[in-house]
Chain A
Amino acid sequence: MSSQIVVMVFEVVGNGICVSSDDGQKVHDQIAAALREKKKIKVSFLNVESLTSAFLNAAIGQLYGKFSEETIRESLAVAEMEQEDLALLKRVVETAKEYFSDPERFKKAREDALEEKDAD
Chain B
Amino acid sequence: MKISLQEIHSNYEGFSRLIQLATQTAGCFLDDIEIDMSHVGWIDANMCAPLGAVLYMVGRDINSIRLTNVPASVETILSKNGFLCNYGWTRKNDIHGSTIEYKRFEPKDDRYFADYIEKQMIGKGIPEMSPGLLKKFRASIYEIFSNSVIHSQTKLGIFSCGQYFPRKHRLDFSVADLGIGICSNIRERRGLTLSAEEAISWALEGKNTTKSGPIPGGLGLKLLREFIVKNEGRIQIVSDKGYWELSEGTVKKRAFSEPFPGTIVNIEINTADAKSYRLVSEIRSEDIF
Chain A residues close to B by CB (< 8 Å): 17, 19-23, 25, 50-55, 57-58, 61-62, 64-66, 69, 72-73, 76-79, 81, 83-84, 86-93, 95-96, 98-100, 105, 108-109, 112-113
Option from A54, A65, A73, A93 in Cβ contact (under 8 Å) with B150: A54
Known: A83-B282, A95-B219. 10 other contacts (CB 8 A): A19-B142, A19-B146, A21-B215, A54-B142, A65-B214, A78-B288, A86-B283, A98-B207, A99-B209, A99-B218
In the complex, which residues of chain A have a beta carbon less than 8 angstroms from the beta carbon of B143?
52-54
Cβ–Cβ contact A20 & B288, under 8 A: no
Option from B135, B207, B219, B285 in Cβ contact (under 8 Å) with A84: B135
In the complex, which residues of chain A have a beta carbon less than 8 angstroms from the beta carbon of B41?
none
Option from B115, B214, B223 in Cβ contact (under 8 Å) with A109: B214
Can you give 29 contacting A-B residue pairs, CB < 8 Å? Answer: A20-B111, A21-B146, A22-B110, A25-B215, A50-B138, A50-B139, A53-B217, A54-B143, A54-B217, A61-B215, A62-B214, A65-B216, A66-B214, A72-B289, A73-B289, A77-B285, A78-B288, A79-B285, A83-B283, A84-B132, A86-B288, A88-B223, A92-B216, A93-B288, A95-B219, A100-B216, A108-B213, A112-B214, A113-B214
In the complex, which residues of chain A have a beta carbon less than 8 angstroms from the beta carbon of B161?
none
In the complex, which residues of chain A have a beta carbon less than 8 angstroms from the beta carbon of B146?
19-21, 52-55
| Nearest Cβ on chain B to A107's Cβ, whole angstroms | 11
| Nearest Cβ on chain A to B96's Cβ, whole angstroms | 26
The answer to whether the Cβ of B13 comes within 8 Å of any Cβ in the partner chain is no
Given A54-B146, A57-B217, A100-B216: A89 touches B277 (CB 8 Å cut-off)? no
Q: Classify chain B: how many residues form its interface, as a range.
A: 35 or more
In the complex, which residues of chain B have a beta carbon less than 8 angstroms from the beta carbon of A69?
289
Given A54-B143, A109-B214: A21 touches B150 (CB 8 Å cut-off)? yes
In the complex, which residues of chain A have a beta carbon less than 8 angstroms from the beta carbon of B211?
99
Option from A19, A87, A99 in Cβ contact (under 8 Å) with B216: A99
Inter-chain CA distance A6–B131, complex, in Å, is: 29
Nearest opposing residue in chain B for A56, CB measure:
B219
Interface string of B256-289 (1 = CB under 8 A from A): 0000000000000000000001110011011111
Cβ–Cβ contact B216 & A20, under 8 A: no
Given A57-B215, A62-B216, A100-B216: A21 touches B285 (CB 8 Å cut-off)? no
| Nearest Cβ on chain A to B170's Cβ, whole angstroms | 22
Inter-chain CA distance A26–B216, complex, in Å, is: 16
Option from A52, A86, A90 in Cβ contact (under 8 Å) with B142: A52
Inter-chain CA distance A61–B287, complex, in Å, is: 15
Given A19-B146, A91-B219, A95-B216: A86 touches B285 (CB 8 Å cut-off)? yes
Inter-chain CA distance A47–B236, complex, in Å, is: 33
